[in-house]
Amino acid sequence: MERIKNAASLTLAFIACVAALIGCQSPPPPTSAEIETVSMAAVQKNDVKAERRLRDWAAQGLPVAQRELGILYESRPRQRDEAMQLLEHAANTGDTEAAFQLAEMLRTGAPGIAAAPAKAIPWYEQAAQQKHAKAALILGMLFNNGEGTKADLEQGAKWLAMSSDLGNPHAMFLLSNAYREGRGVAQNARFARKLLEDSAEHEYPPAIQELAMTVETGDALSGKDTLRADHLLKEANEHRRNNWNRF
Amino acid sequence: MKINLVMLAAMATAGLVGCGGSSTPATPAAPAAPAIPEGTTVTLALLETTDIHANVMSYNYYALAEDTTLGLERTSTLVQAARKENPNNVLLDDGDVIQGTLLGDLQAVTKPVACSDTMAVHKAMNAMKYDGGGFGNHEFNYGLPLLSQITNTDFGIPGITKPAGTCGSPAFPLVLTNVTGVSSGKPIVQPYALLPRTFAATTPDGKALNVNLNIGIMSFVPPQILEWDAKNLSGKVAVGGVQEAAKQYVPEMRTKGADLVVALSHGGLDASGYSPKMENGSYYLTTTGIDALLIGHSHLIFPKGKETGAAALDASFASIPASANVDGINGFVNNVPTVMAQSWGRRLGIIKMTLNYTGGKWVVQPTKTTVESRGFKYTDGTTNVAADPAIAPLVATEHNATIAYAKQPLGVTTDFEMSAYFALVGDVSAIQLVNQAQIDYVKKFIANSTDATISGYKSIPVISCSAPFKAGRNGSSDFTDVAPGASAAAPIGLQVRNPGDLYLYSNNNLQAVKIKGSDLKNWLEAAAKQFGQIDPTKTTEQDLVPSYSTIYNYDVFYAEGNALTYQIDVTKPAGSRIVNLTYQGKAVADTDDFIVATNDYRAGGGGAVPGIDGSKTIIKSPDANQAVVSNYLIAQGAATGKVTLANNGSARSWSFVQTTTAGPVILRSAPGHLALAQSSGIKNITAESSTTDANGFSKYSVDLSK
């Protein structure tokens, strides 16, 4: 039985191959994971074949391929314009990461190209609305600092809250500060502490350190716990080598 | 039956032909086929450690104190007990073994272990008789050449050569499934191994029978290693998605006779959609045909501890949507038994499974599977397990060398005492060197950068800030005091540990931010909040610094040649105290640009300095501030043999706006240092109280008119 089934599926596979070759049936479009796997090969191995595949897929209008190729081109100053076009295409098709990457390019500029945070904001907003945690974080900071927009602490705190809810530890920490100081939100020490704990749990180095400092001496919200402080600092120490460029 | 065997043989041949390659693991000798009666059962335990991070002894090298809550010497006791309970067992490690303590750094960087020797942590693991191990991201922290040596593995990467001969290494097989060499295209370590084991089984009629089983193991690391250790890995290795790698090898392992397939996944559980780029992809291994999942990386306990008083299940597991089918109480993810044994040897993961011999193969009986993440207090919730006395002697030399290392000479002398007793009234003897080291680092970083944006910053002034980290937070004896009594006539040699006194927090990485003059003023105002507001008309005693609890936020700024100076008016409310802020003799304008060398805590929003929230960070260095200070001191030693008060300890960048007060103003500090204040020329300290306060601090009189 098993054998017969195998033989049958082999025949089917053969027919599918032939069909694909003569062009009467196009192969199914690649999944996002498949495109990203090819993209990883292009980036990690400088694999020109992989890059070509990505280009073909991008030309076919696959947004994930456009985004991945755009990200690859971002690292090459001479392909900056192409990168932005690809990312814009993908973002307009609804790709969240592409909108974020495009916003980043606009916000930071490049040598000889002025930063344009105001132009970046709508793209960040699109990505954030599509649940991109880091896009919401950056919006929070732009509103807090009045970059590309008028300074608005309440608006800043709202975006930080969204980012924090989406799991961004950097946003959790900044929001914790906001609640502790009452910046853009009503002061709430207890909630500030909860956010600090969450952020430390998610490995944001400043949060680990701040929490360690807090429990080392104890305060109104929690008693002195030197073992915990030691362990937090030990953890921060150990993860220093991977957290240095992570957030 | 017959057809099955034929099919199996055919598939095995196909598998062998299909993969080839030198790093394909050898097929173990096929288990001799005893006549196993249908319905025979075997019960076995998969034991897991993860994220040991070079914690062999129950000792914290950062605190230089015993810590009986961690360490392999105690995990070994857990292992012995678990083996007694489960005679059929395999002990596996999930990676992040070699890095994390000073012991690890010493053996990898400071005095790298020789090929002929074995790392302390591996010595302990060999004694504990591990059966197999995987890799973690931190294994790559010390670079590929060392990793190749201490695992005795030729990675097949051009330019990375393992020392000739057999190097000291784990005595058990190591596997790594999703990392390949860029030029070879082949796995750098065997992608999987089959461990042939003979286990005691029971026939349906209750008789004992020894059976041979092959336990297949594979291991996965997060693709992010290419970012975290770019310097060591970029262009040399490629990292694939965990699911793709598993799908590539699980069928091959089965073909070669794996009765159980165990994934050692150095990643946590993230149930949001799959991407091969994700960091915590373990969840997506559950659909690749594996039988058990041993996870790590996030240092958590999974499932919830079974001991009395166990901590609640971590919130990150608890918040996974029910549809993802994660059972954090019984330890199943998508019906695959899953365990995470926290970190530092604090827990032992135990997956106990029963297999039933059905239709010619071993079939897992899900209802008989139990999962436990067992801690040191598992017996009754309070009693800590004792250390296995066999471990300490194995690593005594390395352990003692690590502790002794801190007292070795650094190769530089000082002619001044570096202390924080009077840092809050202007003394910079314990701070200036940190600032000088940080400025030196950032200037060189910018000068040597190949990044067009960074090298475009060459004309912007680089300044630095650091704080008196150790200044009374933990009581009256908690003050930095390096080289007490040092003078020009009697200089004192610094020791390896002294940079850690000047820069207390070894977890901080150096970062730099690019800010405006207006940001600098806000930053200084935030720092100046450490002072109480002094009312000059008050006749009663006033504390200059009411609390030391956040004194690490008192940033003292410095520019080369003491070119940046400012004054603090403590009679004004917080937020409007900074006056006369000048750089190179000119008032700092709001629009001026500065680059500030600082740490990742401050640059990333620590201390809530307005505008300093991570968005202005231009340099994220992989180097620790403490190492930067240490290297600077060593360089000074190499150049001149010394650091001096004139060059490195007397550039007081800030002072108080002079004020005459009607009553006493005091600074609480460690008793007995009035003479030091006077000899150091700290003129505003005029007297010391004859008795100490309730917490052991002396009250030093501060004359704000001086």
CATH number at residue B394: 3.60.21.10
**B132 and B181 both lie in a single domain:** yes
Classify residue B12: in a domain, yes or no: no
Domain that holds residue B142: 43-402
Of B239, B606, B611, the CB nearest to A44: B239
Residues of chain B with pLDDT under 70: 1-34
Report how many domains make up chain B.
Answer: 2
**Rounded distance, CA B563 to CA B655, Å?**
14
Residue in B58, B147, B288, B613 to test binding to A, most A beta-carbons within 10 Å: B613
Closest chain B C-alpha to A220 CA, distance in angstroms: 12
Tokens standing for residue A91: 């973002």
**Rounded distance, CA B343 to CA B67, Å?**
14
For residue range B669-694, list pLDDT tens digits in order. Answer: 999 999 999 999 999 999 999 999 99
Q: Residue window 132-171, chain A: list those with CB within 8 Å of chain B.
A: 138, 141-142, 144-145, 147, 170
∠ Cα B500 B504 B505 (to 5°): 110
Exposure string over B577-604, b if 16+ CB within 10 A, otherwise e: bbeebebeeeebeeebebbbbbbbbbbb
Q: What pLDDT, on the 0 to 100 scale, is given for residue B269? A: 93
Q: What pLDDT, on the 0 to 100 scale, is given for residue B7? A: 40
Please report, for the domain that includes residue B495, its CATH number. 3.90.780.10
∠ Cα B474 B676 B599 (to 5°): 45
**B288 and B187 both lie in a single domain:** yes
B567: exposed, middle or buried (C-beta count within 10 Å: 0-12, 13-18, 19+)? middle
**Rounded distance, CA B8 to CA B419, Å?**
74
Q: Do B605 and A230 touch (CB under 8 A)?
A: no
- Is the backbone of residue A183 left (phi > 0), alpha (psi -120 to 50) or beta? beta
**B379 and B435 both lie in a single domain:** no
Alpha helix locations (H) across B30-175? 72-85, 102-105, 120-127, 144-150
CB atoms within 10 A of CB B302: 28
**B134 and B82 both lie in a single domain:** yes
**B304 and B341 both lie in a single domain:** yes
Tokens standing for residue B187: 């796995």
What kind and span of H or E run contains B234?
A: none
Pairing of the two strands B698-702 and B665-669: antiparallel
Of B62, B67, B244, the CB nearest to A233: B62
For residue range B312-329, list pLDDT tens digits in order. Answer: 999 888 889 999 999 999
**Rounded distance, CA B589 to CA B431, Å?**
26
B431 touches B418 (CB < 8 A): no
Closest chain B C-alpha to A15 CA, distance in angstroms: 22
Question: Coil, strand, or helix at residue B227?
Answer: helix
**CB-based contact, A234 to chain B, within 8 Å:** yes
DSSP class per residue in A45-79: H--HHHHHHHHHHHHTT-HHHHHHHHHHHHTSGGG
Classify residue B35: in a domain, yes or no: no
**B87 and B221 both lie in a single domain:** yes
**B379 and B414 both lie in a single domain:** no
**CB-based contact, A235 to chain B, within 8 Å:** yes
Closest chain B C-alpha to A14 CA, distance in angstroms: 18
Tokens standing for residue B435: 């600032």
Pairing of the two strands B59-60 and B41-49: unpaired
B187 touches B134 (CB < 8 A): no
**CB-based contact, A113 to chain B, within 8 Å:** no
**Rounded distance, CA B352 to CA B372, Å?**
9
Q: With the C-alpha atoms ordered B633, B638, B641, B644, is the resulting torsion angle positive or negative? A: negative
**Rounded distance, CA A7 to CA A4, Å?**
5
For residue range B534-553, list pLDDT tens digits in order. Answer: 999 999 999 999 999 999 99
Domain-ending residue, one of B612, B629, B650 = B650
Q: What pLDDT, on the 0 to 100 scale, is given for residue B319? A: 84
List chain B residues with CB under 8 Å of A174: 605, 613-614
**CB-based contact, A245 to chain B, within 8 Å:** yes
Helix A205-217 crosses helix A189-201 at what angle (to 10 degrees)?
120
Nearest to B100 by CA among B137, B66, B48: B137
% of chain B exceeding 90 in pLDDT: 92
**B63 and B151 both lie in a single domain:** yes
Chain B nearest-CA residue for A6? B7
Classify residue B617: in a domain, yes or no: yes
**CB-based contact, A5 to chain B, within 8 Å:** no
Classify residue B681: in a domain, yes or no: no
Preceding peptide of B303 cis, ω within 30°:
yes
**Rounded distance, CA B358 to CA B356, Å?**
6
**CB-based contact, B284 to chain A, within 8 Å:** no
Q: What pLDDT, on the 0 to 100 scale, is given for residue B394? A: 98
**B466 and B561 both lie in a single domain:** yes
B702 touches B544 (CB < 8 A): yes
CB contacts < 8 A, A to B, total 158
Residue in A2, A75, A199, A209 to test binding to B, most B beta-carbons within 10 Å: A209
Q: What pLDDT, on the 0 to 100 scale, is given for residue A14? A: 47
**B337 and B441 both lie in a single domain:** no
What kind and span of H or E run contains B379?
A: none
For residue range B274-304, list pLDDT tens digits in order. Answer: 999 999 999 999 999 999 999 999 999 999 9
Q: Structural domain boundaries of chain A?
A: 30-108
Closest chain A C-alpha to B664 CA, distance in angstroms: 28
Domain-ending residue, one of B633, B650, B667 = B650
∠ Cα A123 B515 A205 (to 5°): 75
Closest chain A C-alpha to B642 CA, distance in angstroms: 29
Closest chain A C-alpha to B539 CA, distance in angstroms: 31
Q: Do A210 and B506 touch (CB under 8 A)?
A: no
Closest chain B C-alpha to A209 CA, distance in angstroms: 7
**CB-based contact, A77 to chain B, within 8 Å:** yes
**B77 and B124 both lie in a single domain:** yes
**B269 and B292 both lie in a single domain:** yes
- In tens digits, chain A (247 residues) has pLDDT values of 344 444 444 444 444 444 444 445 677 899 999 999 999 999 999 999 999 999 999 999 999 999 999 999 998 999 999 999 999 999 999 999 999 999 999 999 998 999 999 999 999 999 999 999 999 999 999 999 999 999 999 999 999 999 999 999 999 999 999 999 999 999 999 999 999 999 999 999 999 999 999 999 999 999 999 999 999 999 999 889 889 988 9
Query: How many whole angstroms from its chain centre is CA B370?
Result: 31
Closest chain B C-alpha to A26 CA, distance in angstroms: 24
**CB-based contact, B7 to chain A, within 8 Å:** yes
Q: Do B622 and A138 touch (CB under 8 A)?
A: no
Classify residue B79: in a domain, yes or no: yes
Residue in B478, B519, B615 to test binding to A, most A beta-carbons within 10 Å: B615
**CB-based contact, B426 to chain A, within 8 Å:** no
